[in-house]
Structure 1
Amino acid sequence: MSKKNSKPLWITAIVLVAIVAFIVYQNRKDQASDAQTVSRKSVVIAYQTGVDPSKVAQANGDYEKNSGQHIQWKKFDAGSDVVNALASGDVVIGNIGSSPLAAAASRNVPIEVFLITAKLGSSEALVVSQKSNIHSPQDLIGKTIAVPFVSTTHYSLLSALKHWGISENQVKIINLRPPEIAAAWERGDIDATYVWEPALSKAKATGTVLTDSKQVGEWGAPTYDLWVVRKDFAEKNPDFLKSFVKTTLTQIDAYQQNPQAFVQNQSNIDKIAKLTGSDPKDIPLLLAGNNYLNLEQQQKTLSGDFAKNIFDTATFLKSQGKVDQVKANYAENVSTAFFK
């Protein structure tokens, strides 16, 4: 073969090598781009307006910083709405009470509780209007009480009525979400409400607390504020959930180690107030009204009788006609895997 003819072949070979190298480079670039797109995809989380220390971590963006993951936070007014969003897949993690959890698990919504935000106390309360002439539990008979149905406050209200020997048909219980409760209270359409923040503070301004969830819990019907997750998301994203748990517990520990210093930090108060819509002056008392569990307490509670607590709640809700069925066991709806 002559040198004259061999030169174009070398050029062709070089061009082919260059083309192949370019294709490999582009494939790797596209794969990297795809990976970046996945990491940038938002984790959609539903939160509510209950007052707790972890709201500071949410406001600070700590969940995003610690996980390296973008989060889209969506505010909801009631646990039933969060459950619907979880069931449809519109959100993958949600903040709900133990009563909505019991109702959702009973109808086989594929979720599990992986973290306790708080054991509820005075942050949820039954408030009676000063205009209603209600001075004792028996004065509730014949009165109109507003509550979000199948919420922790609904469960607590029904439990309180049972404790007082008042049947459900002796009062008029209406289903309203917290913003609707606040409006109905202002208009004077209701005599009482069992609700949480920020509607609670608005009711207390012109009302009197008849009982709260701390007292109802002592009567045998404790309620919890919880973080739950879709099981399919949990299986694929354990590291994110471990980071979420660690971030939350870090904030709970910061509060528990020195509650006074925590509430004296005006920045903490302002951040919680902004996220929840609560009056800043009420936040220290509301924080003090709940019990926040550390790592050891979380593990002990969730691995202990918590599944039975869900069963008891579901059984009560069924007796009130609020759920159609009760499962034999709710252990599959409780997970301690993300504390490790």
Structure 2
Amino acid sequence: MALAAASLAPLGAAWAQSAPEEVRFAWAGGPRTWVLGQIDKSFDKAFGVPVKWVAFNSGADVLSLFAAKEIDIARFGSSPAAAGIARGLPIEVIGAQEIIATSERLIARDGINSLKDLEGKRVAYPANSTAQFAFELAVKLAGDGADRSKIRTVALKPAEIVSAWQRGDIDAAYVWGPFSQQLEAAQGKEIFATKDLAEHGVLVFNNYVARKEFAEQHPELIVKFLQVAQDKANEYLADPEAASQKIAQYLDIPVDTVRSTLGGLQYPSIQEQLTVDYLGNSQTKADSRITRSYHDAATFLADIGELRASDVPATYADAINTRYLEQAAAAAPQQ
């Protein structure tokens, strides 16, 4: 969608008359830097209207919420976003602030030391998530000869994964924090992390996605959202310990869990996101690493039957709207 510069002008009387009653964010309830904006209400203050935080368990839930028009902006994984776009949901990518490194990991019981050792075992992951995507690619690309047909898998919500582990129903799980830390606290150990896919050229990330209708009606709010999200990432990067303590207290979870989760992500700035190493800008996004990553994810999902191959777009560039990031970058000091 091409936006005229005037449509991204500062707040004025015309915008105020059309402001929504609230802005609805989808979030998974776990530790992320944007929770700092929930704590101090930075988003609410920037928008001038309240933010409603809508909880979800996995990327599949986010797609359902978007389809029902129950959310306006979401932070969730790249592979379910690729699936939603392929299925024709009226959504667009507005940012990619979190590159997954060690925040999502494969945790296994004692005696399982490699992907090959998963043969004959039962592995859980959240359905249609970056964790499922990473697991399947791990076995395919880095599996040390592991036979995928001999690994039994089950799709469970993150909290269900912890319960299944405690009952002894599963032998391993690919999941994010704080659930991965809970498995480790129950004698689990990491045998693979998403960062290990980087040597195979795979980029897995969390993206910010907006409902197109909302973004078109309130472009100023999208820009403000990106600015506040960057401010909160900067707050964490400036003092990770203080930010982790604050989030741990607010979410009532162990600070070690917050440290591990937040430390397992990489945080490209707004300016960095606009390079071809990430999203690119209006002129370069067709050749960006993330545009290719979406297509790779969708192709993979089609290969395992999660998508119809005919639904996979030739390029994801049209689903990435970088103009909001460009406006936010123009208004911000260089980082």
TM-score (norm 1): 0.83
Q: How far does residue 121 in structure 1 lie from its aligned partner after superposition?
A: 1.1
Q: How far does residue 67 in structure 1 lie from its aligned partner after superposition?
A: 1.3
What is the rounded CA distance, in whole Å, between the counterparts of 2:134 and 2:22 in structure 1? 35
What is the rounded CA distance, in whole Å, between the counterparts of 2:96 and 2:218 in structure 1? 19
What is the rounded CA distance, in whole Å, between the counterparts of 2:256 and 2:84 in structure 1? 35
RMSD: 1.8
2:212 is the counterpart of 1:231: yes
2:76 is the counterpart of 1:76: no
Bigger shift: 186-195 or 298-307?
A: 298-307
2:228 to 244, 247, 253: 247
CA contact (8 A) 1:40 1:70 kept: no
Tell me the amino acid that sits aligned with residue 258 of structure 2.
I
2:273 is the counterpart of 1:292: no
Name the structure with the higher helix share.
1
What does residue 114 of structure 1 align with? 94
What is the rounded CA distance, in whole Å, between the counterparts of 2:201 and 2:304 in structure 1? 17
- Secondary structure of the corresponding residue to residue 274 of structure 2: helix
Q: How far does residue 190 in structure 1 lie from its aligned partner after superposition?
A: 0.2
CA contact (8 A) 2:97 2:273 kept: no
Matches within 5 A, 1:1-340: 39=19, 41-130=21-110, 133-163=111-141, 164=143, 165-205=145-185, 206-260=187-241, 262-263=243-244, 266-271=245-250, 273-274=251-252, 278-300=253-275, 301-303=278-280, 304-325=288-309, 326-339=312-325, 340=327
What is the rounded CA distance, in whole Å, between the counterparts of 2:116 and 2:148 in structure 1? 13
Q: Deviations over 1:232-263 (max 9, x none)?
A: 11111101111100000011122223435544
Tell me the amino acid that sits aligned with residue 173 of structure 1.
T
- Secondary structure of the corresponding residue to residue 109 of structure 1: coil
Bigger shift: 46-55 or 83-92?
A: 46-55
4+ long deviations beyond 3 Å: 257-263
What is the rounded CA distance, in whole Å, between the counterparts of 1:279 and 1:58 in structure 2? 18
Q: How far does residue 151 in structure 1 lie from its aligned partner after superposition?
A: 0.4
What is the aligned-residue identity percentage?
31
What is the rounded CA distance, in whole Å, between the counterparts of 2:254 and 2:178 in structure 1? 8
Which structure is larger by alpha-carbon Rg, 1 or 2?
1
What is the rounded CA distance, in whole Å, between the counterparts of 2:148 and 2:73 in structure 1? 33
- Secondary structure of the corresponding residue to residue 295 of structure 2: helix
Change (3 A) 1:289 1:181: same
Q: How far does residue 40 in structure 1 lie from its aligned partner after superposition?
A: 6.0
Q: Which runs of 5+ in 1 are unaligned?
A: 1-31
Q: How far does residue 197 in structure 1 lie from its aligned partner after superposition?
A: 2.0
What does residue 3 of structure 2 align with? none
Tell me the amino acid that sits aligned with residue 235 of structure 2.
A
Q: How far does residue 198 in structure 1 lie from its aligned partner after superposition?
A: 2.3
Change (3 A) 1:57 1:261: same
Tell me the amino acid that sits aligned with residue 302 of structure 1.
L
What is the rounded CA distance, in whole Å, between the counterparts of 2:97 and 2:64 in structure 1? 20
Q: How far does residue 337 in structure 1 lie from its aligned partner after superposition?
A: 1.3
CA contact (8 A) 2:105 2:180 kept: yes
How many equivalent residue pairs?
A: 298
Change (3 A) 1:324 1:50: farther
What is the rounded CA distance, in whole Å, between the counterparts of 2:129 and 2:199 in structure 1? 19
What is the rounded CA distance, in whole Å, between the counterparts of 1:294 and 1:124 in structure 2? 21
Q: How far does residue 107 in structure 1 lie from its aligned partner after superposition?
A: 0.8
- Secondary structure of the corresponding residue to residue 302 of structure 1: coil
- Secondary structure of the corresponding residue to residue 96 of structure 1: strand
- Secondary structure of the corresponding residue to residue 265 of structure 2: coil
What does residue 284 of structure 2 align with? none
Bigger shift: 120-129 or 84-93?
A: 84-93
Q: Which runs of 5+ in 2 are unaligned?
A: 1-12, 281-287, 328-335
